[in-house]
Amino acid sequence: MIVSDGAIIDTYVGMSNTGCANRMNGGPALNSQVNVRTITQDTSGNYYMMGPNYLTKMVSNGTIYTIAGGGSYNAFYNGFVGTYVNIAYGHGVALDTAGTIYYSERSGYCVIRSVNPSTLVVNTVVGNYGTCNNNGDQSLFLATLGDPWTLQYHPPNQLLICQ
């Protein structure tokens, strides 16, 4: 739902809160069932929504697409197209100025992943898969995150992680 200037609530995604089994990939977002934890918007008016096990994009015409999640490859795999990847406890989502999508996986996975906007290939950018504790003052791949929740991108090249 989006609250506009006139304090009117408009529903754009999801007619039901009964689950997230039917995300209507390539179909109307209004008819999809989603469980959105975090949402962000790009400069073209597209919305990116992070659910517990998937990342979706609703384009400005109201069509929804799965970008990542629903696959069988866990977070320690890199270089796979997003729909082949299994997302575990997804929560935060952010975009950088180049359109790269970042999302966090929590509760036992504790990583930040990136999705290339052109190829939709997923890679780990921060964290050590399966190692969850607050020891982030190291190189990106050696750093361990406690429980990454919220992400926010600040230009030119800062990704803020709230855990």
SS3 10: strand
Query: What residues of the chain score a pLDDT lower than 70?
Result: 1-12, 14-24, 72-76, 107-108, 134-142
- Please identify, in words, the CATH class of the domain defined by 2-162: mainly beta
Q: For residue 114, what pLDDT is reported? A: 93
Please report the pLDDT score of residue 23 as a whole number: 56
In whole angstroms, what is the distance from residue 34 CA to residue 162 CA? 24
Which tokens in the block code for residue 126? 């921060």
CA atoms of 61 and 81, how far apart (whole Å): 24
* pLDDT at position 116: 95
> Quick one: pLDDT at residue 75?
55
Q: What confidence tens digit (pLDDT) does each residue in 42-51 have?
A: 999 999 999 8
Q: List the Cα angle 51/47/66 in 5-degree steps.
A: 50
Question: Mapping DSSP to helix (H, G, I), strand (E, B) and coil, where does residue 89 land?
Answer: coil
Distance separating alpha carbons of residues 162 and 151, to the nearest angstrom: 6
Query: Do residues 11 and 32 touch, judged by C-beta distance below 8 A?
Result: no
Per domain, the residue ranges of the chain are: 2-162
- Give every CB contact of residue 158 below 8 A, 6+ residues apart in sequence: none
